[in-house]
Amino acid sequence: MSATDPHCPFPETADIHTSSDEYATRFSGPAGEWMLAVQETITRRLMRGFEGSAVLDVGGGHGQLAVPLCRDGWAVTVLGSDESCRHRIRAVVETGACRFVVGDVIRLPFPDRSFDLVLCFRLLTHCERWPELVRELCRVARKAVIVDYPTGQSLNAIAPALFGAKKKFEKNTRTWALFRHRQVIDEFAKNGFGPAATGKQFFLPMVLHRMLKSRALSALAEAVCRALGLTRLWGSPVIVRFEPRG
């Protein structure tokens, strides 16, 4: 797992790549747009009841959530490891709809409990020191933290065997960590947070949807899997809202 940019002073910089135009091509076209729509729909459901909250999006320079949330009037701050992480959210930053801050994702430059809601997507899986990332997410959150992660308790269990073929097709595939749910839950528990709500995105591997290149086919296939209960049992990536215990 490559999480460090040699030109950046911070130890964990995976968000520099996930904030790039190259990374965005993984979600281009009808299938990619559909996958992002699924992610956004689940996330918005988990954010219900937090309207009007101050939101921090750690590593959110990819704009997958910051841009639509800002357009809907949410007060969003995006933390990126480098000035280049501003690129894909430039439009909402320049209009004043979004605040952008450069900083270390495992030593966030904010006081304790300075945001109501903290988001962190596309980062946990690429962060080598992810327990420190979790600690910081919890430290700056007053009400909740929402994160996503891929789990090996799904069809992703065969992902290591398919990595070569996946990389050949996607060309810009990066190595990543697969988590067991208990790993993530236990790490948040160490920081006083417990799971409050969960959403699972897909039963079929995302690379298959990229290969299909069809929003309609992907949506139909996943609707069948969801109706059969397969997504509830073995869906991935997982989106979880964690809240302070007690």
Over the stretch 160-203, which tens digit does the pLDDT of each residue have? 555 454 445 445 455 678 999 999 999 999 999 999 999 999 99
Over the stretch 54-68, which tens digit does the pLDDT of each residue have? 999 999 999 999 999
Note the pLDDT of residue 169. 45
Would you kindly state where each structural domain of the chain is located, as residue ranges? Answer: 14-244
Helix (H, G, I), strand (E, B) or coil at 55: strand
Give the C-alpha separation, 28 to 160, whole Å. 24
| Tokens coding 212 | 């299909």
Give the C-alpha separation, 43 to 60, whole Å. 14
Note the pLDDT of residue 158. 58
Task: Return the closest-CA partner of residue 101 out of 132, 77, 120.
Answer: 77
Most confident of 8-12, 80-84, 158-162, 174-178: 80-84
Provide the CATH number for the domain formed by 14-244 in this structure.
Answer: 3.40.50.150
User: Which pTM value belongs to this model?
Assistant: 0.90
3-state secondary structure string, 191-244? CCEEEEEEEEEECCCHHHHHHHCCHHHHHHHHHHHHHCCHHHHHCEEEEEEEEE
Strand (E) or helix (H) holding 14: helix 14-18
